[in-house]
Homo-oligomer: A and B are copies of this chain.
Amino acid sequence: MTVADDIRAKGMRMTVQRRLVLDALRRARHHITAEEIARSIRASYPQIDPSTVYRNLEALERLGYVTHTHLDDRVTRWRRADSPQHGHLVCRRCGSEEEISMSVLAPLAKRLKGEHGFSADLAHSAVVGLCRECAG
């Protein structure tokens, strides 16, 4: 079953704008912001409205095709749900970003599940702190 068929099977519609959002996410090599998606779409479809991009990202997230993460305080970043998951370390002083394997975060997830019955999504928010250089 194609993505379009799945979307239609759930009573939703495969609009040109929705397909363009999916295409932009497929082209992206890493997490991108909604504004970057909008800009990328405007090259071939100038009339796209930012709210259409936001609403489509939310709809596609509900269907399980995309997810978002938070690297810094303000901006939300999006990626295809089938792209490899990983954590982030972000320095609050110099802004440097480092990707880390989920295996580093797994023991905490396991403990939260065991002690609190909580299924944690530890890739959702970056871990903030001070990098080696900034901590001194």
Contacts and interface: CB of A to CB of B under 8 A. Distances in A.
Nearest to A96: B118
B107 A107 contact: yes
Given A76-B73, A108-B108, A112-B89, A120 B129 contact: yes
A122 B118 contact: no
A107 B89 CA distance: 16
A42 interface: no
Determine how many copies of this chain the complex contains.
Answer: 2
A41 interface: no
Interface residues of A, number: 32
A132 interface: yes
Nearest to A100: B116
Interface in A70-109: 70, 73, 76, 89, 91-92, 98, 100, 104-105, 107-108
B127 A122 contact: yes
Contacts of A126: 125
A119 B128 contact: no
B115 A104 contact: yes
A105 B121 CA distance: 14
Given A76-B73, A117-B135, A112 B127 contact: yes
A136 to B, nearest CB: 10
Contacts of A115: 104
